Amino acid sequence: MDIKVVDPFASKLNLNEEVIVKLNYDTSVNTDILSYSGTVTYNDETVGVISFDYVVLRFKLWDISSNFDRAILPIEIRFSIYNPNFFMPSISILLFTLNFPPENCVFTCTADTSVQIALTTVFRLSMDGCQDTDSPISY
């Protein structure tokens, strides 16, 4: 089994990032009899299980689990395809480092009140005080 990820050179995975995986299983059998599944393992525990019916899968880690810790960064995603003609499923494993969003950010929105004409008010949006261990921010 061969796995292709949209960005195969990415070693970090954002929690909100959409991961697109394509499984390539070279077989001459009807693909309708194959079973596809994935397991997300974090800190030596299974935190999510994914079952799907097609060879292309889209998911976000924060849709699977929210119990991630900044002190423990590596995550393992295992994909398997089970063919009933064989005893063992085909398994492939991907390893990623988690990239957490910044913390302690303060969002402010101020409006220029000197001009009070509808639809022409200028707003200033700012995000200050952010702390991120993965600088520069890659969001």
Start and end residues for every CATH 2.60.40.1930 domain found in the chain: 2-99
Summarised one tens digit per residue, pLDDT across range 37-49 is: 889 898 888 988 8
Q: Measuring CA to CA, which residue among 54, 58, 73, 71 is closest to residue 14? A: 73
Taking the CA atoms of the chain, what radius of gyration do you get in angstroms?
Answer: 21
Q: Which residues of 44-82 are buried (b: 16+ CB within 10 A; e: fewer)?
A: eeebbebebeebebebebeebeeebeeeebebebebbbe
Give me the CATH code for the 2-99 domain, please. 2.60.40.1930
Residue 8 pLDDT > 60: no
Query: In the chain, how many H helices and how many E strands?
Result: 1, 10
Q: Looking at residue 7, what is its pLDDT?
A: 55
How much is the pTM? 0.67
Mean pLDDT of 70-82: 84
Q: Looking at residue 106, what is its pLDDT?
A: 92
